[in-house]
Amino acid sequence: MIPLRNNIASMAGYVPGYQPPDIASWIKLNTNENPYPPSPEVVKAITAELGQDGASLRTYPSASSQTLREIAGDLYGFDPSWVIMANGSDEVLNNLIRAFAAEGEEIGFVHPSYSYYATLAEIQGAKVRTFSLTDDLWIAGFPENYEGKLLFLTTPNSPLGFAFTPGYIEKIAQRCKGMLVVDEAYADFSDSNALDLVRKYENVVITRTLSKSYALAGMRLGLAIARPEVIAALDKIRDHYNLDRLAQAACGAALKDQEYFAECCRKIRATRDWFSGELRKIGYDLIPSQGNFVFAAPPDRNGKRVYDGLYERKILVRYFTDPLLSAGLRISIGTRDEMETTLKAIKEIG
Ligand code: PMP
C-alpha cells in the first residue's frame, strides 16, 4: 500500500463528461467551447513566437506573465498589480482554495454549479457546504454572516445559464466573512459582471477564462482580478512558470483583438437567442441563458431520452444524472449551421 493521504485515497477525482474517441466527426456541444477559431492574430503570434526552428522554446517563459497582466489590466480598468494570469481559470480556483482554506476549514458553493469546486475541496481536505437555489433562482438560506473561508459563485451559472445581478452579488459579498470568488467564466456572453465589486470589497475575487469567449480552451488560459494582497498570495502558490511561451503569445494577441472577440460573442449570443426561441416553440422549458449554452428540458422532462437520440445522430450534448438536472440537457451553442442541425434532430426525436 502506498502511503497516500486519506482524502486522496478516498476521493473519486473529477470526471469530465464522456466523449467518444472519434469526436472530431461529431457536432460537439458538451463542454461549452467556442465553435469559431480564435482570432487570426493568435495564430500569427504563436507562429512568430515559435520562429523557424522553435529556438525560443529552449528558454523559460516569463514567470510572471507581466505583459499580459498589463494588457488585461488595461482591458478591465485595473492596475496590473490587481491581475494574475493562470493556466486556465481552473488553476486559479485551485490556488484560491490552497491560499484561503486549510484542511478541515469550510468552503461553500451553490448547487448546481461547477462541480470542480468539490474536487478541489476534497484534494485540500476542506469541508464543503452547498447552498441550493430557490425556485426563482436566489440562494436559499444564505446566512447573514457566512463564516466559510471561500464562497464560489458561478455567474452566469453553469449548467443553468442564469446570472445573479451585481446588486445581489454585492449583498452576498457583504455577508461573506471569507473570500467571495465570482467565477465569471461565461460573463462575456452576459449583460453584466461584478468587476466594480472588486474595487469596493477587499474580499471579492473575479475569475475569468479565455477558454470560452476567446476560443482558447486548448491553450489553457485564465486570470483573476483582486486586491494586490490577494494577487501576491496567489503568486506565492502558483507554479512559477505557469503559462508557457506559446500560451503567453496567444493570450496577448487574443486580448488585444477586441474587435474579433466582440463579433464572436455577438454571433454566439444571437445564435443562442434564436435557438432558445425555437426550442420554446416546440414546448421546451428553458431558463433564459446568459452563457454560451442553454439548459433546456423537453416537455416530458426526460433529458436522457433526448440525449440518447442526439447521441445516435452524432450530436454530443451534456446530460447530468443529478436528480435536480436530469429533466434537461445542457447544450453548448455552436455555429448557426450546427444549431440548425441540432434543432432538426431534436424535432425528429420528438
Ligand atoms: N468555471 C466554470 C464555471 C467553468 O464552466 C469552467 C470550464 N468548464 C471553468 C471555470 C474552467 O475553465 P478553464 O480552466 O478552461 O479556464
User: For 56-76, how does the pLDDT look when each residue is reduced to its tens digit (9 = 90+)?
Assistant: 999 999 999 999 999 999 999
Q: Give, for ligand 1, the residue of 92, 94, 116 to mutate: max count of ligand atoms closer than 8 Å to Cβ.
A: 116
Closest residue CA from atom 6 of ligand 1: 185
| Dihedral sign (CA 251, 256, 260, 266) | positive
User: Of ligand 1's atoms, which has the minimum distance to the CA of residue 221?
Assistant: 16
Residue 122: its pLDDT value, please? 95
Which runs of consecutive H residues, i.e. helices, occur in the chain? 6-10, 40-50, 66-76, 89-100, 116-124, 166-175, 195-200, 228-237, 245-256, 258-281, 303-312, 336-349
Residues with CB under 6 A from ligand 1: 88-90, 114, 154, 158, 183, 185, 209, 211, 217, 222
Q: Tell me, in angstroms, the distance from the centre of ligand 1 to residue 158's CA.
A: 9
Residue 63: its pLDDT value, please? 98
Cα 261 to Cα 276: distance, rounded to the nearest angstrom: 22
| Dihedral sign (CA 322, 328, 333, 334) | positive
User: Of ligand 1's atoms, which has the minimum distance to the CA of residue 211?
Assistant: 15
Cα 225 to Cα 236: distance, rounded to the nearest angstrom: 16
Residue 282: its pLDDT value, please? 98
Condensed to tens digits (0 to 9), the pLDDT of residues 172-189 reads 999 999 999 999 999 999
pTM: 0.97
Q: Residues 123-140: what's their mean pLDDT?
A: 95
- 330 and 322 Cβ atoms separated by less than 8 Å: no
Q: Which three three-digit cell numbers place residue 239?
A: 507554479
The answer to whether residue 334 scores a pLDDT higher than 80 is yes
Q: Tell me, in angstroms, the distance from the centre of ligand 1 to residue 221's CA.
A: 10
Q: Residues 129-154: what's their mean pLDDT?
A: 96
Q: Tell me, in angstroms, the distance from the centre of ligand 1 to residue 217's CA.
A: 9
Residue 199: its pLDDT value, please? 96
For residue 128, what is the enclosing H or E element? strand 127-131
Residue type, 70: E
User: Of ligand 1's atoms, which has the minimum distance to the CA of residue 217?
Assistant: 15
Q: Tell me, in angstroms, the distance from the centre of ligand 1 to residue 283's CA.
A: 30
ipTM of the complex as predicted = 0.99
Q: Give, for ligand 1, the residue of 15, 209, 251 to mutate: max count of ligand atoms closer than 8 Å to Cβ.
A: 209
Residue 25: its pLDDT value, please? 95
The answer to whether residue 19 scores a pLDDT higher than 90 is no
Q: Residues 312-321: what's their mean pLDDT?
A: 96
Give residue 169's pLDDT band: very low, low, confident or very high (50, 70, 90). Answer: very high
Condensed to tens digits (0 to 9), the pLDDT of residues 215-256 reads 999 999 999 999 999 999 999 999 999 999 999 999 999 999
Q: Which three three-digit cell numbers place residue 300?
A: 416530458
Parallel, antiparallel or unpaired: strands 127-131 and 106-110: parallel
Query: For the chain, which domains are there?
Result: 6-30+259-349 (3.90.1150.10), 40-257 (3.40.640.10)
Q: Residues 262-273: what's their mean pLDDT?
A: 98
- 253 and 42 Cβ atoms separated by less than 8 Å: yes
The answer to whether residue 17 scores a pLDDT higher than 80 is no
Residue 134: its pLDDT value, please? 93
Cα 272 to Cα 281: distance, rounded to the nearest angstrom: 14
Condensed to tens digits (0 to 9), the pLDDT of residues 38-49 reads 999 999 999 999
Counting residues of the chain whose pLDDT is more than 90, the rounded percentage is 95
Give rounded-to-5 percent helix, strand, coil for the chain: 45, 15, 40
The per-residue pLDDT of the chain, averaged, comes to 97
Residue 301: its pLDDT value, please? 98
Q: Tell me, in angstroms, the distance from the centre of ligand 1 to residue 294's CA.
A: 16
Cα 253 to Cα 40: distance, rounded to the nearest angstrom: 9
Q: Give, for ligand 1, the residue of 28, 32, 85, 89 to mutate: max count of ligand atoms closer than 8 Å to Cβ.
A: 89
